[in-house]
Amino acid sequence: MKSFSNRYIYIFSATMVVIVATLLAFISLQLKPAQERNILTEKMQNILASVRVQSTTSNAQDLFDKYITGSIVLNNEGKILENTDAFDVDLVAQVSKIEKTKQLKSLLAERRVSPFKQFIASFGGAKETDRQGIQSQISAIGGERQLPVYICTKEDSSVYYIFPVRGKGLWGPVWGYISLEADMNTIYGAVFDHKSETPGLGAEINQEWFQVNFRGKKLFDGASFRSIEVAKKGTVEPSPFTVDAISGGTITSKGVEAMLYDCLEGYIPYFETQKN
Amino acid sequence: MSGKEPLLSPKNLRLLTDPLARNNPVTVLVLGICSALAVTVKLEPSIVMAISVIIVTAFSNLVISLMRNYIPPRIRIIVQLVVIAAMVIIVDQVLKAYAYNVSKQLSVFVGLIITNCIIMGRLEAFALGNKPWPAFLDGVGNGAGYGFILIVVAFFRELLGSGTLLGYPVLEKIGLYKTGYVNNGMMILPPMALITLGIIIWVQRSRNKDLIES
């Protein structure tokens, strides 16, 4: 083998890295539009599937324009936010707001349950302002929430409302779309997808046989919000609020359950106003 | 390129066909098993994976072979890795742009082609010491050898596990379910990929006694 000087090795590696980086950056830029279009099309297909409209990659745009007659973004009080496009709302950021609120609330609950510690601490005068601080943080986060809703009108002029949901599965994120009938209670359709759940087990949530179980289920028990429980067959009474979990996919199933509760909870003010 | 000898001389042709059977990287050298287990639940992702690996092995072999006289031996492994990684990223990006659904199914495994020992093995063992054209053929051959096994395993796993082939419900059409047949759910779990692969290796060795170690 030939021997190479250190100088040559440095120059060689530097040149190689620059060439490879330029090449990859160029290719990535070239392919970006096509990739983004794919993601957008997939989103449209998912939204359409939640109102039981089957689409292909080629007709997704047309069907979307035909059936999805409107979209709005709400704040946490159920008021419509102007100048925000439902399609642009970053659900990942929204979900992290839900997480953060939960953390703060549990922190608040901890503070509440130990009055003795509070009493001791009250001499310092710190705790109460602490609580207020947490409280105001929670409402600040709540004020930043953006909740997208898509509105679908079918041929027979029946109207459905579609709500995006997102949460955690076993290995990675799970997400989906839930469509409700005009009574804001009955589920019309549901689609779920996942990033990396176990094939054949948790990954089955993106299969139709699992998703059809959600049709006709109810979110509200009387006036109180109950959401859908995804539970092992036989452990709970079959009711309009339960769906059979996937055997072997317990954590994914529980993830779907938590996702539905956490994400749909934010829409309660909107549900209430729409019902009346 | 290969100068005086024809492009597909018997020697070069052997580079292409050898890894398909007698020198198969998966069943004989037992390399690249991990991804062979992971992506073989369905036939379609396996085919795409096979094509991706063929492209990566062929072109990284070609590139390394072109550069072989300029690569300092002390950093050759790094150079090989950079070339492989670049190829894999390109393949991954192209799949994301033009075969989105399949790329979603393959998820991380396209990226993990980087760690597939077959590719680095061929670069070290062949491309560094051979001319570009034979190196290219060797890459195609080894990629195809890997892909062939992938497709065979996936064929049985999809057929027996889901009762379909490329998503087409074969078993339902021939009316097998009416006789009380039930899909074998075990086939879609990773252990059965290992067992299927084991059976393939067994069959191959029983037919070709040269492969049996003494």
Q: Looking at the domain assignment, is residue B212 inside a domain?
A: no
* Mean pLDDT (whole number) for A183-194: 89
Distance CA A149, CA A71 (A): 6
- What is the per-residue pLDDT for B1? 44
- What is the per-residue pLDDT for B38? 77
Q: Looking at the domain assignment, is residue A39 inside a domain?
A: no
- What is the per-residue pLDDT for A17? 92
Pair B70, B124 in one domain? yes
Pair A160, A136 in one domain? no
- What is the per-residue pLDDT for A18? 95
Res B17 pLDDT > 60: yes
Q: What value does the mean pLDDT of chain A take?
A: 84
Pair B125, B60 in one domain? yes
Q: Looking at the domain assignment, is residue A126 inside a domain?
A: yes
* Mean pLDDT (whole number) for A149-158: 88
Pair B34, B136 in one domain? yes
Pair A234, A134 in one domain? no
* Mean pLDDT (whole number) for A161-181: 90
* Mean pLDDT (whole number) for B178-194: 80
Angle (nearest 5°) at CA B12 between B11 and B15: 95
pLDDT bracket for residue A165 (50, 70, 90)? very high
* Mean pLDDT (whole number) for B124-150: 89
Q: Looking at the domain assignment, is residue B93 inside a domain?
A: yes
pLDDT 10s digits, A10-27: 999 999 999 999 999 999
Pair A198, A105 in one domain? no
To the nearest whole Å, the CA of B207 is away from the closest chain A CA by 34
Structural domain count of chain B:
2
* Mean pLDDT (whole number) for A138-149: 84
- Inter-chain contacts counted by CB atoms under 8 A, chains A and B: 55
Q: B109, B133, B151 — which closes off a domain?
A: B151
Alpha helices in chain B (DSSP H): 10-17, 33-38, 43-67, 76-98, 100-106, 108-111, 117-125, 132-161, 170-173, 190-207
From its phi and psi, is residue A222 left (phi > 0), alpha (psi between -120 and 50) or beta?
left
Whether residue A24 and residue B189 make contact (CB cut-off 8 A), yes or no, is no
Q: What value does the mean pLDDT of chain B take?
A: 83
Pair A137, A163 in one domain? no
Q: Looking at the domain assignment, is residue B211 inside a domain?
A: no
Res A231 pLDDT > 80: yes
Point out the residue among B75, B97, B185 whose CB comes nearest to the CB of A13: B75
* Amino acid at residue number A270: Y
List of chain A residues whose C-beta atoms are within 8 Å of the C-beta of residue B72: 4, 8-9, 12
Instruction: List the one residue out of B169, B196, B197 whose CA is nearest residue B183.
Output: B169
Whether residue A38 and residue B100 make contact (CB cut-off 8 A), yes or no, is yes
- What is the per-residue pLDDT for B4? 60
- Answer with the residue of higher pLDDT: A20 or B178: A20
Pair B76, B147 in one domain? yes
Radius of gyration of chain B (CA): 19
Local structure of A228: helix, strand or coil: coil
| Structural domain harbouring B83 | 1-151
| Structural domain harbouring A129 | 91-144
Pair B35, B114 in one domain? yes
Pair A80, A201 in one domain? yes
Pair B37, B58 in one domain? yes
In this prediction, the answer to ipTM > 0.90 reads: no
- Print burial letters for B126-151: b (CB count within 10 Å at least 16), e (below 16): bbbebebbbbbbbbbbbbbbbbbbbb
Q: Looking at the domain assignment, is residue A102 inside a domain?
A: yes
Tokens linked to A58: 């080629």
* Mean pLDDT (whole number) for B28-34: 77
Q: Looking at the domain assignment, is residue B53 inside a domain?
A: yes
- What is the per-residue pLDDT for B58? 92
List of chain B residues whose C-beta atoms are within 8 Å of the C-beta of residue A196: 107-108
Are A251 and A171 in contact by the 8 Å Cβ rule? The answer is no
Pair B132, B89 in one domain? yes
List of chain B residues whose C-beta atoms are within 8 Å of the C-beta of residue A39: 100
Structural domain count of chain A:
2
pLDDT bracket for residue B184 (50, 70, 90)? confident
* Mean pLDDT (whole number) for B96-109: 81
Pair B105, B169 in one domain? no
Pair A237, A254 in one domain? yes
Res A174 pLDDT > 80: yes
- What is the per-residue pLDDT for A26? 94
Whether residue B93 and residue A35 make contact (CB cut-off 8 A), yes or no, is yes
Pair A81, A182 in one domain? yes
To the nearest whole Å, the CA of A20 is away from the closest chain B CA by 7
Q: Looking at the domain assignment, is residue B213 inside a domain?
A: no
Q: Which of B46, B69, B71 should be substituted to probe chain A, the one whose Cβ sees the most A Cβ atoms within 10 Å? A: B71
Are B211 and B187 in contact by the 8 Å Cβ rule? The answer is no
Q: A144, A161, A180 — which closes off a domain?
A: A144
Distance CA B158, CA B41 (A): 6
pLDDT 10s digits, A27-80: 999 999 998 888 888 888 888 988 888 888 788 888 888 888 888 888 877 788
Pair A175, A254 in one domain? yes
A15 forms bridges with which residues in the sheet? none
pLDDT bracket for residue A154 (50, 70, 90)? confident
Pair A260, A246 in one domain? yes
Q: Looking at the domain assignment, is residue A14 inside a domain?
A: no
* Mean pLDDT (whole number) for A232-254: 84
- Answer with the residue of higher pLDDT: A235 or A47: A47
Whether residue A42 and residue B100 make contact (CB cut-off 8 A), yes or no, is yes
Pair B100, B169 in one domain? no
Pair B22, B113 in one domain? yes
List of chain B residues whose C-beta atoms are within 8 Å of the C-beta of residue A195: 107
Q: Looking at the domain assignment, is residue B169 inside a domain?
A: yes
- What is the per-residue pLDDT for A111? 66
Pair A258, A222 in one domain? yes
Q: Looking at the domain assignment, is residue A114 inside a domain?
A: yes
Q: Looking at the domain assignment, is residue B89 inside a domain?
A: yes
Tallying the residues shown for chain B, one arrives at 214
To the nearest whole Å, the CA of B97 is away from the closest chain A CA by 4
Q: How many helices (DSSP H) and strands (DSSP E) are in chain B?
A: 10, 0
- What is the per-residue pLDDT for B62? 93
* Mean pLDDT (whole number) for A78-97: 82
- What is the per-residue pLDDT for B2? 44
CB-based contacts of A111, cutoff 8 Å, min separation 6:
A118, A127, A130, A131, A134
Res A113 pLDDT > 60: no
To the nearest whole Å, the CA of A249 is away from the closest chain B CA by 13
Q: Looking at the domain assignment, is residue A31 inside a domain?
A: no
- Which chain B residue has the Cα nearest residue A20? B86
- What is the per-residue pLDDT for A208? 85
Pair A105, A127 in one domain? yes
- Answer with the residue of higher pLDDT: B13 or B136: B136
To the nearest whole Å, the CA of B164 is away from the closest chain A CA by 14
Pair B128, B46 in one domain? yes
Whether A42 has its CB under 8 Å from any CB of chain B: the answer is yes
Distance CA B149, CA A140 (A): 57
Q: Looking at the domain assignment, is residue B190 inside a domain?
A: yes
Q: B151, B168, B192 — which closes off a domain?
A: B151
Q: Which helix (H) or strand (E) holds B182?
A: none
Are A216 and A187 in contact by the 8 Å Cβ rule? The answer is yes
C-alpha distances out from residue B16 to B100, B149, B159, B171, B200, Å: 30, 15, 29, 35, 21
Pair B38, B113 in one domain? yes
Whether B96 has its CB under 8 Å from any CB of chain A: the answer is yes
Q: B105, B125, B151 — which closes off a domain?
A: B151
- Which chain B residue has the Cα nearest residue A8? B72
Q: Which long-range contacts (CB under 8 A, 24 or more apart) does B202-206 make?
A: B204/B21, B204/B24, B204/B27, B204/B28
List of chain B residues whose C-beta atoms are within 8 Å of the C-beta of residue A4: 72-74
pLDDT 10s digits, A117-132: 666 666 655 555 577 7
Pair A83, A196 in one domain? yes
